Structure 1
Amino acid sequence: MSLFVAPQTFGQDSFFPIWGDEAEKRGYTLPKPYGFSLSYMDMSNPITVNSINLTGHPVLEALDVDAKQADFSGSNITLRGDVWIFPFLNVYGILGYTQGTSKAKINSVSCDSSGFGILDSNRYLCSLIDRLGDNLPDNTMFELDMDGGTYGVGTTLAGGVGNWFALVDMNYTYTSISAIDGNIKTFVAAPRVGHRWEYDGGRELRVFVGAMYQDVQQYLSGDLKSLGLPSALDKIIDELAPDGKFEVSQSSDEKWNGVVGFQYAFNRDWEVLAEAGFGPRETLFFAASRRF
């Protein structure tokens, strides 16, 4: 999330932002150049399951699992450090931790027995699975826990006329999953427009609306037993392939959602921000910032 224009003018005593003196001579007000913020985000997002591959046994490798949609819910807490390089350009780094869960309903399971010989016992097991795979219990799901460290970089382009402002915030983050082998790669671009009100003592309120584009790519792998399958299926896996593995590729289903929020500056040093996202992807975002 970006930081907008600050409420008071100051004599520049730092190398950054470059061209800061020139901007102030033209009547622009600038924020202090350096900042740290602590933020929390809660998110719920539909996910498309692109592929599910199973290994560890010939029958597993012949399976086709129909589970096209998943629901991701999670949260993250991040620490961000930033600097205004130019009056209109901010760059920042992100370090944090993400907790999330992806749940997908398994609609059916089919098995291609054509690759097994007529006398191969795997052929009959595969045929049996194929016959039973359309009658799975309604609660047959696979669940993935996706907790891990997150880090990334980003930039903000900002400008304004009078008390109106506009900005575009872009960042790329990488989350390394700790419980299973995998990662989450996320690119976010968020344009916003808003209005600001100044008050005595350097206080300032900014209200904004906008949109968020989010492209999420998830690559996950691990033991079949870590999928959170029903106990009956776990028993079958224990007998069939105790060392069975899975590979899952998922991506964000809906890339755009709307956002609305506000930012309140207590003075030139401290400010808080709250934002809500609405649409297919729902988000809540809170941040507290300190500038130097």
Structure 2
Amino acid sequence: MKIHGFLLLLFFVFLEGATYAQILEETETDSTTTGEYPYVLPIWGQKVQDRGMADQLQLPFGVNLNYVNAFIELDITEFELALNGHDLSDFLNVETLNFQEVSGTTNGVNFRADAWILPFMNVYGLFSAVKGGTNVTLMPTWKNELGEVVLQLPEFSSHVDFDALAYGIGTTLVFGWNNYFASIDMNYSRTDTDLLNEQVGYLTLSSRLGYRFGLSKKNKDFFIAPYLACMYRDFVGAKGNSGQINMSEIFPDLENVFNEKADDKIAANQEIINDPGTSAAERIKLQAQNQAIETIQGKINDSGVFSSEIDYSIRKEMVQPITFQFGFNLQINRNWMVRGEYGVSDAQRFLMTGLQYRFGIKKKGI
């Protein structure tokens, strides 16, 4: 059966805001460039100019437009449910809901503006608009004090779509020697969605190592720079998220399924109880089981939970926050660059493509 995964609530976003700043390459040169460095940034740009390596710097300002597609698996570590102030967590919680799978996908456009503050340090701001979907599968199960299953509902699954907006800041440190380069990147973003009361914080850390290959002897600015990377992504400030939703949106027809399953279980137990060949100990066990089922059924039905607005609190964690990445930067000239990156792990997939435009702002009087 279909459920409108309120676990979409637990999944938002997602945006990959990582920057892939290009190379500050410390190539040896016999020439010495004289004159004043023309642009307002980076700081120490004049020192680089005096050393004859200003042509190795990127233009100081850039704007990027990227497309990002991501898939991620999640673990639900905490779940609480309340109706009109009445706590239902004893009957509906992480253990009894028995989540089988929680995963999400996102597709979004990521806009990033950056500046080289220092020759080796880039800072940036990002904004993203994404559409996503959450897939949830669960099999509600109730057990007695001995750990024996007294009631288990059929497996439920659902796909729910959502929209989100995210914004953040980040920085990249870059080192280069000859045509080799390495970078370390960190960014933090927050996401807004109508499904959650609180914003969701997201941290990305990454490191990259690559090599630059020239593609033209006549044009040294035309090159491709493939790289390998390792990336860590995870939620931050993970105190959980809360919100409100109607139970009928979460579990369509769950009331009928729940009561049919409970009634069928009680009837099946009663047949065994009425069988003359059933032992007294087995009768006592099944009678206690039926009483437990009736108690659960009565409390849940009396609560009105199946048709009411409910408050929830949920906490989730990524199954595997680390991925291995590989990608490239293709610089066409000093103004235009194309980029792409793919990352994969057992529980994540990540794809990004984008276009970057760079420019300089000259000092006054130049």
Shorter-chain TM-score tier: 0.7 to 0.9
Alpha-carbon distance in structure 1 between the residues aligned to 2:144 and 2:309: 21
Q: 1:144-174 deviations in whole A, cap 9, x for unaligned?
A: 5442110000000001100000001110011
**Aligned residue type for 2:38:** D
Alpha-carbon distance in structure 2 between the residues aligned to 1:283 and 1:34: 27
Asked if 1:261 corresponds to 2:327, the answer is yes
State the Cα distance separating 1:261 from its structure 2 match.
0.7
2:225 corresponds to: 206
Alpha-carbon distance in structure 1 between the residues aligned to 2:242 and 2:108: 19
Alpha-carbon distance in structure 1 between the residues aligned to 2:256 and 2:245: 11
Alpha-carbon RMSD across the aligned residues, in angstroms, is 2.9
SS at match of 2:247: helix
Work out which of the residue numbers 254, 270, 273 in structure 2 matches 1:232: 254
2:202 corresponds to: 186
* Residue 209 to residue 164, structure 1, CA distance change in 2 (3 Å): same
> Whose strand proportion is higher, 1 or 2?
1
1:137 corresponds to: 154
**Aligned residue type for 2:20:** S
SS at match of 1:61: coil
**Aligned residue type for 1:136:** L
Q: Unmatched 5+ residue regions in structure 1?
A: 114-129
Alpha-carbon distance in structure 2 between the residues aligned to 1:222 and 1:168: 39
Q: How many residues are matched?
A: 273
Contact 2:24 2:174 in 1 (8 A): no
Alpha-carbon distance in structure 2 between the residues aligned to 1:92 and 1:234: 53
1:247 corresponds to: 313
State the Cα distance separating 1:249 from its structure 2 match.
1.3
Alignment of 1:1-292 (within 5 A): 1-5=19-23, 12-28=37-53, 29-56=56-83, 58=86, 60-63=88-91, 64=93, 65-67=97-99, 69-110=101-142, 131-132=150-151, 135-138=152-155, 140-141=156-157, 145-198=161-214, 199=216, 200-201=218-219, 202-216=221-235, 217=238, 219-225=241-247, 228-233=250-255, 240-241=304-305, 242-280=308-346, 281-292=348-359
Q: Percent identity?
A: 24
State the Cα distance separating 1:68 from its structure 2 match.
6.7
Contact 2:182 2:207 in 1 (8 A): yes
State the Cα distance separating 1:246 from its structure 2 match.
1.9
* Residue 235 to residue 157, structure 1, CA distance change in 2 (3 Å): same
Contact 1:144 1:226 in 2 (8 A): no
SS at match of 2:199: strand
Contact 2:24 2:175 in 1 (8 A): no
Alpha-carbon distance in structure 2 between the residues aligned to 1:223 and 1:76: 25
Alpha-carbon distance in structure 2 between the residues aligned to 1:256 and 1:76: 21
Contact 1:174 1:184 in 2 (8 A): yes
SS at match of 1:244: strand
User: TM-score of the superposition, structure 2-length normalised?
Assistant: 0.67
Instruction: Choose between structure 1 and 2 for higher RCO, CA contacts under 8 A separated by at least 6 residues.
Output: 2
SS at match of 2:317: strand
Q: Unmatched 5+ residue regions in structure 2?
A: 1-18, 28-32, 259-299, 360-366
SS at match of 1:14: coil
State the Cα distance separating 1:5 from its structure 2 match.
2.5
Contact 1:167 1:191 in 2 (8 A): yes
SS at match of 2:154: coil
Q: 1:252-278 deviations in whole A, cap 9, x for unaligned?
A: 121111000111111000101010001
Contact 1:48 1:68 in 2 (8 A): no
Contact 1:45 1:71 in 2 (8 A): yes
User: TM-score of the superposition, structure 1-length normalised?
Assistant: 0.83
Alpha-carbon distance in structure 1 between the residues aligned to 2:342 and 2:246: 36
**Aligned residue type for 2:313:** E
